[in-house]
Amino acid sequence: MELLTYCTILLVCSLLLKLLKGKFSPSLPLPPGPNGYPIIGNLLDMPTVMPWKTFQKWSNVYGDVMLLRLPGNPIVILGSTQATFDLLDKRSDIYSDRPTSVMQKMMFWDWAMSLMPYTQTWREHRREFHQYFYQRKVPTYHPVQLAQCRAGLQRLLASPTENVGQNIRQIFTAIILKVTYNLDITDLRDEYVVMAQKALEGVSLGTVPGKFWVEFFPILRHIPSWVPGNSAGKMADHYKPIVEFMRNKPFDEIKQGMMNGNVVPSIASSLIERVYKKSGEDYSTPIDDTLARNVAGIAYAGSSDTTTSAAQSCLIAMSLYPEVQRKAQEELDRVVGPNRLPDFDDHEDLVYLRAIVLEAMRWMVVLPLCIPHRVIRDDEYKGCLIPKGTIVMPNIWLAV
List Cβ neighbours of 231 (8 Å cut-off, separation of 6 or more). Answer: 212
The string of pLDDT tens digits covering residues 118-144 is 889 999 999 999 999 888 898 999 999
Say what the pLDDT of residue 24 is. 45
Q: Are 106 and 52 in contact (CB under 8 A)?
A: no
Q: Is the pLDDT of residue 3 over 50?
A: no
> Which band of pLDDT confidence, cut at 50, 70 and 90, is reported for residue 383?
very high
Q: What letter does residue 394 receive in the DSSP assignment?
A: E
Say what the pLDDT of residue 400 is. 63
Longest dimension (CA), the chain: 75
Say what the pLDDT of residue 399 is. 65
Alpha-carbon distance 225 to 236, whole Å? Answer: 9
Q: Is the pLDDT of residue 22 over 50?
A: no
> Which band of pLDDT confidence, cut at 50, 70 and 90, is reported for residue 100?
confident
Q: Are 72 and 20 in contact (CB under 8 A)?
A: no
* Terminal Cα-to-Cα distance of the chain (whole angstroms): 51
Q: Is the pLDDT of residue 1 over 90?
A: no
Q: Which CATH class is domain 107-212+231-320?
A: mainly alpha
Q: Which residue has the higher pLDDT, 19 or 53?
A: 53
Say what the pLDDT of residue 7 is. 47
How far does CA 386 lie from the centroid of its chain? 25
Secondary structure class of 318 (helix, strand, coil): helix
Q: Is the pLDDT of residue 2 over 70?
A: no
At 216, which amino acid appears? F
Alpha-carbon distance 209 to 66, whole Å? Answer: 15
The string of pLDDT tens digits covering residues 37-80 is 888 888 888 888 889 999 999 999 999 999 999 887 799 999 99
Q: Are 62 and 32 in contact (CB under 8 A)?
A: yes
Say what the pLDDT of residue 377 is. 94
Q: Is the pLDDT of residue 109 over 70?
A: yes
Other beta carbons less than 10 A from residue 378's beta carbon: 16
Give residue limits of the domains in the chain.
Answer: 1-99+372-400, 107-212+231-320
| Number of residues that this document lists for the chain | 400
Record: fold of 1-99+372-400: 3.30.43
> Which band of pLDDT confidence, cut at 50, 70 and 90, is reported for residue 88?
very high
The string of pLDDT tens digits covering residues 244-273 is 999 999 999 999 988 888 888 899 999 998
Q: What is the mean pLDDT of the chain?
A: 86
User: Which one of 206-220, 222-236, 293-307 scores highest in mean pLDDT?
Assistant: 222-236
Say what the pLDDT of residue 192 is. 86
Nearest to 127 by CA among 301, 277, 256, 271: 271
Average pLDDT over residues 323-342: 94
Say what the pLDDT of residue 237 is. 93
List Cβ neighbours of 19 (8 Å cut-off, separation of 6 or more). Answer: 39, 71, 72
Q: What percent of the chain has pLDDT over 70?
A: 93
Say what the pLDDT of residue 366 is. 83
List Cβ neighbours of 110 (8 Å cut-off, separation of 6 or more). Answer: 101, 104, 116
List Cβ neighbours of 192 (8 Å cut-off, separation of 6 or more). Answer: 173, 177, 183, 185, 246, 249, 250
* Alpha-helical runs (H) found in 224-266: 231-259
Q: Are 398 and 373 in contact (CB under 8 A)?
A: no
Say what the pLDDT of residue 309 is. 86
Q: Which residue has the higher pLDDT, 382 or 188?
A: 382
Average pLDDT over residues 97-111: 90
Torsion 193-197-198-200 (CA) sign: positive
Say what the pLDDT of residue 107 is. 92
At 395, which amino acid appears? N
Pairing outcome for strands 391-394 and 373-374: antiparallel
Please return the burial class of 360, using the count of CB atoms within 10 Å of its CB with bins 0-12, 13-18 and 19+: buried
Q: Is the pLDDT of residue 280 over 80?
A: no
pTM above 0.85, yes or no: no
Contacts 24+ apart (CB under 8 A), 226-235: 227/3, 227/7, 232/102, 232/103, 232/106, 232/206, 233/106, 235/103, 235/106, 235/107, 235/202, 235/205, 235/206
